[in-house]
Amino acid sequence: MWKSPVNVAGAASLSFWPILPHMYNSSETKSDRIIEVNDLAKEYRVYDKPEGLWASVRGLFHRKNRIIHALRGVNLSVGRGEFLAMLGPNGAGKTTFLKLLSGIITPTRGTARVLGHVPWDRADDFRRRFALVMGQKNQLWWDLPAAESFRLHQEIYRIDPARFAKIHDELVDMLGVSRLLGQPVRELSLGERMKLELIAALLHEPEVLFLDEPTIGLDVVAQHTIHEFLRHIQKQRSVTVILTTHYMKDVAALCERVVVVTHGSILYDGSLEQIVDRFTTHKVVTLDLENAPAPGEMERFGFSCEVHGPRVSLRIDRSRIADVLPKLLASQQVRDVSVEDVPLEEIVAGLFRGAANRQAGIDPEQEVGAV
Amino acid sequence: MNLAFYLLIFSFTPEIGRGSGWSREPFFAFVATGLIINAIVQTLFMPSASELTEMVRTGGLDSVLVRPLDAQFLLSMHRFDFSSMANGLVGLGLLIWAVLRFPVAPPLIAWLLYPLLIVSGVAILYGLIIMLAAATILMGRNQSLYDFWFYITNFSRYPAEIYAGPWGDPLRTFCTFVIPILLVVNVPAGTLARPLSGQAWGMVVLTFAAAGISVGLSRIVFQAALARYRSASS
Give domain limits for chain B.
2-227
pLDDT for the residue numbered A135 = 86
pLDDT for the residue numbered B141 = 66
Q: Which residues of A touch B233 (CB under 8 A)?
A: 95
Q: Which of A99, A102, A143, A150 to mutate to test the interface with B (most CBs of B within 10 A)?
A: A99
Residue of A nearest to B226 (CA): A105
**Backbone dihedral region for residue A304 (phi beyond 0: left; psi -120 to 50: alpha; all else: beta):** left
pLDDT for the residue numbered A36 = 96
Name the 3-class secondary structure at A259: strand
Contact A100, A71 (CB under 8 A): yes
Q: Which residues does A301 contact at the CB level (< 8 Å), separation at least 6?
A: A314, A316, A324, A327, A328
| Whole-number percent of chain A with pLDDT over 70 | 88
pLDDT for the residue numbered A295 = 79
Least confident among A9-13, A250-254, B70-74, B146-150: A9-13
ipTM: 0.79
* Contact at CB, A99 and B227, closer than 8 angstroms: no
pLDDT class of A283 with cuts at 50, 70, 90: confident
Which structural domains are found in chain A, ordered by start? 9-129+206-278 (3.40.50.300), 282-341 (3.30.70)
Contact A214, A226 (CB under 8 A): yes
For residue A363, pLDDT over 60 is answered with: no
How many C-beta atoms surround the C-beta of residue A279 within 10 A?
A: 25
Name the 3-class secondary structure at A209: strand
B96 touches chain A (CB under 8 A): no
Q: How far apart are CA A76 and CA A91, in angstroms?
A: 19
pLDDT for the residue numbered A199 = 95
For residue A207, pLDDT over 80 is answered with: yes
- Per-residue pLDDT reduced to its tens digit, A187-206: 999 999 999 999 999 999 99
Size of interface A-B (CB pairs under 8 A): 54
Could you say which of A120, A124, A139 has the minimum Cβ distance to residue B68? Answer: A124
Burial (0-12, 13-18, 19+ Cβ within 10 Å), B5: exposed
* Contact at CB, A132 and B67, closer than 8 angstroms: no
Ranges of residues in chain B whose predicted pLDDT is under 50? none
A296 vs A94, more confident? A94
For residue A20, pLDDT over 80 is answered with: no
For residue A364, pLDDT over 50 is answered with: no
